[in-house]
Chains A and B, each alone.
Chain A
Amino acid sequence: MRRLLDLLAPLALIVVLLAGWEIACRALEIPAYFLPTPSAVIASLWTDAPTLLISAGNTLTMALAALIMASLTAQLLALLVALSPILERAIKPLAVVLQVTPVVAIAPLVVIWAGIDHPERAIIALAAVVAFFPIFSGAVTGLKAADPDLERLFDLYGAGRVKRLLRLRLPSAVPFLLEGHKVAAGLALIGAVVAEFVAGSGGAQGLAWRILEAGNRLQTARMFAALVVLGLMGALLYAGLARLERSGLRWWRGR
């Protein structure tokens, strides 16, 4: 009963808000290009579903490709940093600079490098830049997060660098890696959308492009429909990764 209420409460609020919106739009005769009624948005969701889904697929594919790229480079660099303090001092400032530079600012440059015919490459690269940092910093922290007493035991047992890395530091880093990937996945999606806006080309045909295109034509209901799809996709991606993190932790901890 309690769970049913928990589930119904947010739904009820959404229904009330949508009803209020619908009534207000009709009563105040707000023009559709300014604020479409929820029913118009739903209608647009229905009729534009094929294009929206394809675009959502494109954006998701680019975000996931970026996530994989970011994951590989971030973990490789974190491993190097963990093995050598000198490399750490060398790499860390650069990584921080990369982190604090807004993706929008470097986007035009990356678009030029990727070539005007390959906007998707620029988008993947930019999203990867955004997704890189949480994985990198999680991995660096995780590789140093081993229980200091366990480290002492490894000293006592005379474990060398490689054994220590494989049998202590890497397993200790697992929870941090899971958390880093969860955060990075959300950022990759945001990065892909932002990069799409900046790349501003129809070549990649992602959700951001649909929003831009509909905006240019003042098809505001369609913009809303694209936003709804984007929000749902983000929520699903986050929920999926949160679940993955939980089961990953269960496997790591044994319960």
Chain B
Amino acid sequence: MEPFVAELAQVEVEYGGGSLALGPIDLGLAPGQITALVGPSGCGKSTALRLLAGLEAPTRGGVRRTAGRGETSVVFQAPTLAPWLSALDNVALPLELSGLPRATARDRAEAALGRVGLAAATNARPAQLSGGMAMRVSLARALVTEPRLLLLDEPFAALDEITRRSLADDVLRLWAETRPAIIFVTHSVEEAVYMASRVVVFSRGPGKIAGELTVAGPAPRPEGFRTTEAFRATVEAVSRVLAKGMEMAP
């Protein structure tokens, strides 16, 4: 079996006061797999994501990563673009910081913007973009480094339903091109089931894995997948695990 791209082994995170916020948790991400993390607010989903990204260190336990820093990308809840840079320069930034010549970085950034459908907006500043467009720029910035591991922290939370759905399809389409391992945090069970082949449900206090489900079906999703019986059954199943996890919490 291929090694995990990133793995948490018996990981625990404590608050400043010494009480347990998260764990113990075991979670491995296989290459090319899309995993969704769902759970109530404050259950440590985002912390788990930061641990996997190497942006935070656990109090106890091990984090193993075969994807290096340069092979890891993160998309946050907000687009997190630099307001003083054009869309193109924002996307080129990770490449420039990793030492690529400016011209090469900009060429690749332009291609990445094209892949998210923003070829016409290269010179626009973030303030001139809609929420959905800014999120696409953020996605292009995450993909421009051709990561092996892509972490999405509630990336569509601030967007309207239509934009959410079209961005979800964009992510799946882009995933199919290079097949990075994706882990994404979401509040929406439907979104989790639609996008992921594996849904991990968190419970709160301290954050733990309450259950894990596999989503059958082709990826990327075919037209009308949301209306199939299988989709609805899985959403139901995930919701049940989620509800059970909430009951267990104090």
Contact = CB atoms under 8 A, between A and B. Distances in A.
A156 B54 CA distance: 8
How many of chain A's residues touch chain B, expressed as a range?
20 to 34
A156 B69 contact: yes
Given A252-B83, A254-B125, A254-B127, A149 B78 contact: yes
Nearest to A251: B84
B153 to A, nearest CB: 9
A154 B80 contact: no
B94 A255 contact: no
B127 A255 contact: yes
Interface stretch (A134-142, A157-165, A209-217): A157-165
A168 B170 CA distance: 29
B86 A149 contact: no
A224 B50 CA distance: 65
B83 A254 contact: yes
Given A158-B70, A254-B125, A255-B127, A149 B97 contact: no
A104 B70 CA distance: 57
A138 B83 CA distance: 19
A255 B78 contact: no
Contacts, number: 59
A9 to B, nearest CB: 34
Given A157-B97, A158-B70, A150 B80 contact: yes
B97 A167 contact: yes
Interface of A is mostly: helix
Given A158-B69, A254-B83, A254-B127, A153 B78 contact: no
B231 interface: no
A163 B127 CA distance: 24
Given A149-B78, A158-B69, A253 B127 contact: yes
Contacts of B94: 153, 157
A153 B128 contact: no
Given A158-B69, A167-B97, A153 B84 contact: no
Contact of A174 (B53, B74, B84, B126): B84
Nearest to B123: A254
A252 B53 CA distance: 31
Interface string B51-78: 0011100000000000001101110101
For the complex of A and B, 7 pairs with smallest distance between CB atoms: A254-B125, A157-B97, A149-B80, A149-B76, A171-B84, A253-B127, A159-B97
12 contacts: A149-B76, A150-B82, A152-B74, A153-B94, A157-B70, A167-B93, A171-B82, A252-B83, A253-B127, A254-B124, A254-B125, A254-B128
